Amino acid sequence: MHQSPPQQRPLVLGSTSRYRRELLERLNLPFEVAAPDVNETPLPSETPRDLALRLALAKARAVAQQHPGAVVIGSDQVADLAGEPLGKPGQHERAVQQLRQMSSQTVVFQTAVAVVCAATGFEQVELASVEVRFRALSDEEIERYLRAEQPYDCAGSAKSEGLGIALLDAIHSDDPTALIGLPLIRTCRMLRAAGLVLP
């Protein structure tokens, strides 16, 4: 007797980030997008690593409450400069300040991903740390880059997948899409653990 493949649970990306949406589309799985309602303010003395892990899980849990039968992905990225969190700059002046701080420095982009399914009680969270070494940046280079790419919605003010790669000396990572915002190797591992069949 021929068995049809089991019905998959729906997949929901708990993020409004277009970068994460584009990355998840690579897996060829149908998914919905939902905005997590989570306060992203760091707790007193919270490390960038702990902040990223806490927020990824909080986002996945918040969306899983609205979609209890679904498998939900939550993710968060915090740029870590010598233990200080650098968030999304939001505007030009703040981006200039961030890039000046990061010039000639190594910044660790802490990218956390969580997978939650309320119906089954499944919950996992993992962290992908990406070490990024910035070269010495002049104010003219910073200004030219920001005018060209306007990366004001990116933690740390630089898009490695675009022109921002020209600001860097090196990237060290074991999950190549982590820096863009969603570590797909870890995401696939957790989706399979949650019971989804990946192509």
> Which residues are part of the catalytic machinery?
76
Which residues 6+ apart lie within 8 Å of 69 measured at CB? 9, 10, 118, 119
Which residue reads 């998914």 in tokens? Answer: 31
* Contact predicate 149/163, CB 8 Å: yes
Which residue reads 């797909």 in tokens? Answer: 184
CA distance 126 to 124: 7
111 phi-psi bin (left φ>0, alpha ψ -120 to 50, beta other): beta
Q: Which residues of 42-75 are buried (b: 16+ CB within 10 A; e: fewer)?
A: eeeebbbbbbbbbbbbbbbbbbbeebeebbbbbb
Tokens of 127: 């962290």
